[in-house]
Amino acid sequence: MSSDPDETGGFQPRFDSSGLITAVVSDVRDGTVLMVAHMNAEALRLTQETGIAHFWSRSRQALWRKGETSGETLKVTDILTDCDQDVLLLKAIPEGKGAACHTGRRSCFYRRVDGDALVLIDAQRLFDPGDVY
C-alpha cells in the first residue's frame, strides 16, 4: 500500500503548522454548504467518537462542540477528505432548529459578493442569536 496521501487507503490527515485542518460542513440531505471551521486532532477524534461535530476555535483558542450553547448541533454522517488529506468535508444533519450559523441562519453563506458590496440572499433567521450567545 502506498504511503502517498493521494493514493493511500489509510487516513493520514495533514494538519497545518498550527495543528489544524480545515473542515467544510455540508447538509447531507441536499448538499448545502453550512459552515467552514477548523479542527485539531482532538476535535477530529471527538467528532469520530461521538458523531457530533467538534471544532477548534482559533479566536478563543479552545475546543468546542457545535451547539454547546445554541443547541444547534451537527450530527456527522460521513467524513470525507480531499486527495492530499489537508481538508475535510463533514456531511451532517443539522439538529435543533436547523441553524448552523451563529447568526441564527441555516448556513454561514447568506451573502453574495457584488463588487465591493455584500447582498443578503438569506435574511431568514431560525433563532435569535441574542438568546443563546
pLDDT in tens, 25-53: 999 999 999 999 999 999 999 999 999 99
Class of residue 80 by CB neighbours under 10 A (exposed 0-12, middle 13-18, buried 19+): exposed
Q: What is the mean pLDDT of each run of 10 residues along the chain (133 residues)?
A: 71 97 97 97 98 96 94 97 97 95 94 96 85 61
The reported pLDDT for the residue numbered 7 is: 79
**Are 21 and 86 within 8 A, CB to CB?**
yes
The reported pLDDT for the residue numbered 122 is: 87
Single pTM value for the model: 0.89
Strands (E), 53-116: 54-57, 62-65, 74-81, 87-94, 111-114
The reported pLDDT for the residue numbered 19 is: 98
**Are 116 and 59 within 8 A, CB to CB?**
no
Q: Which three cell numbers stand for residue 38?
A: 477548523
